[in-house]
Structure 1
Amino acid sequence: MFRRRESVPFAFVAEADQFRSNVTPPPRERASASQLAARSLVGLTVVAGLVGSLVLGIPALSPQSASHPQQTEAADGH
């Protein structure tokens, strides 16, 4: 068969479909109950942090309400 004259990484990728392995990887271990609880606790902590930052950040980013009008020098009449 025609062989390509390419650099090593590309030639290896091009010929990679010819090599098949009959070795199957070992089955993955199932996570224990404590590992599942730790993962869910970390996830809940991250979500709570994001929600807390939104709760504290949205009022700071909103424009000032009418109860706190801005005063400028032109409005003071100086």
Structure 2
Amino acid sequence: MFRRREAVPFAFVAEAERFRSNVTPPERERLRVPQIMGRTLIGLTVVAGLAGSLLFGLPAMESGQSAGHGQQSEASEGR
């Protein structure tokens, strides 16, 4: 490969780390009301889904000793 003949001064390398561009980035587009409402609705839907899964999942995760015993006794009474 080709080798550089001139040495790179250390000050140039150190200055490159703190280089700041003079080009300003474009301004951020402001959100309109429908966009804000849409994002809010999506967030509420996600939160409601998590809360619903928690409400329906907790009874299913119980030990089942009292619930299973009650169902067995009802079935044996019907016979």
Shorter chain as denominator, the TM-score bin is: 0.5 to 0.7
**Structure 1 length as normaliser, TM-score?**
0.63
The residue aligned with 2:53 is 53
**Residue 64 of structure 2: aligned partner:** 64
* Alpha carbons of structure 1 residues 67 and 49: separation in structure 2 relative to 1, 3 Å: closer
Amino acid at match of 1:21: S
Larger Rg: 2
Structure with more helix by fraction: 2
Give the structure 2 partner of residue 23 of structure 1: 23
Question: Partner of 2:28: helix, strand, or coil?
Answer: coil
What TM-score results when the alignment is normalised by the length of structure 2?
A: 0.63
Q: Which runs of 5+ in 2 are unaligned?
A: 1-8, 73-79
How many residues align structurally?
61
Q: Distance in 2 between matches of 1:60 and 1:36?
A: 37
> In structure 1, what is the Cα distance between the partners aligned to 2:44 and 2:62?
27
Residues 31/68 of structure 1: CA separation in 2 closer, same or farther (3 Å cut): same
CA deviation string 1:53-76 (max 9, x = no partner):
0001000001124353398xxxxx
CA RMSD of aligned residues (A): 2.5
Counting aligned pairs with the same residue, the percent is: 55
